[in-house]
Chain A
């Protein structure tokens, strides 16, 4: 449970600040900070005072870089997971409703699948509806009917 709370607080932090931050070796006084922005860009900051202190205490530069790389890999692994803190459909719904349209990018805070839906699949559907609503509806309505019929058959 504490892990879920930690993950949730990280999501909320990302929503508030617009980036995922990986801070090594410790969150409050880091030597290396990598900020992964919602649009994919990365800013890597090296704090020379803190690095100097760590090197003075026996840490090697290679060791520090390796720890930071592992922390980034772990964070990336969590983002790539199909289901993050909450399930994908709920995350998608929250992304599109709770934060409004402008919040689509925040989906990456939950998981990469929600993000891909937000920035690729939904814009494609939206584009299709604007270009030719009849074409999209002609395909979508039978699909929805089939889905409903299948659900009804399954239940009965």
Chain B
């Protein structure tokens, strides 16, 4: 790898640390499975995305365009979880979004845009990466896709290093339906989210304190008076 590539990769990671995002989701009736090895996880995430697009309850009717022919997307198009599968998912989600804008409060909108965006990024990475020897970028992206899946993000907070904080709430948090989250009340979701936020900011602060200490130490060693 070239020196420029080295710097760019480290710089990307440092850049990613300038923004923090905390997402809270509620998964109904499922058990938490740890992410398996990359090749298996790629296949399972692609299948989950495919299931969301093909589920008749979502009313999306995904189509694929191959040359002059347009046909419905099928399970078998995405099951392998390879580069071609993610390209098909990206194109199918994109076609749905282009066919007509969804209302702003339609909960399918953010999930469709997540499927399109994650599939595009994974397909791009798979074009240059062997999934049996995944890069850090692919591992991080895949873990995020695995964690969030096709669930609706109920609460999301973004913190930027310049001090901006944005919190988004799903309309379901404001709903009066007492059964919308099963046995969980919105106050509990809010509490769990705030605890995670405190953890994220504490980790962030520690990292920056430590970085300042290290850079300061390095500066003192390079430029400060030496007692040799």
Contact = CB atoms under 8 A, between A and B. Distances in A.
Interface residues of A, number: 69
Contact of A48 (B4, B183, B200): B183
Interface string B4-25: 1111011101101100111111
Contacts of A146: 226, 228
B69 interface: no
A126 to B, nearest CB: 5
B228 A150 contact: yes
Interface string A24-68: 000001101111111111111111111110010000011001001
A103 B137 CA distance: 9
Given A35-B147, A37-B140, A40-B17, A68 B34 contact: no
A39 B215 contact: no
A20 B186 CA distance: 26
A42 B30 contact: no
B196 A120 contact: no
B210 interface: yes
A72 B148 contact: no
A42 B199 contact: yes
A116 B214 contact: yes
Interface stretch (B86-94, B103-111, B170-178, B187-195): B187-195
B167 interface: no
What is the predominant secondary structure among interface residues of chain A facing chain B?
helix
A47 B203 CA distance: 25
A79 interface: yes
A130 B31 contact: no
Contact of B17 (A39, A55, A143): A39
Given A41-B20, A42-B200, A61-B185, A17 B206 contact: no
B101 interface: no
A126 B10 contact: yes
A90 interface: no
A104 interface: yes
B221 interface: yes
Given A36-B199, A44-B22, 7 more contacts: A19-B143, A41-B20, A46-B188, A48-B26, A102-B9, A121-B214, A123-B11
Interface of B: 1, 3-7, 9-11, 13-14, 16-17, 20-32, 34-35, 37, 135-137, 139-140, 142-144, 147-148, 151, 181-185, 187-189, 191-193, 195-200, 202-204, 206-207, 210-211, 214-215, 218, 221-223, 226, 228
**A-B complex: 5 closest residue pairs judged by Cβ atoms:** A18-B139, A39-B16, A52-B183, A43-B147, A48-B182
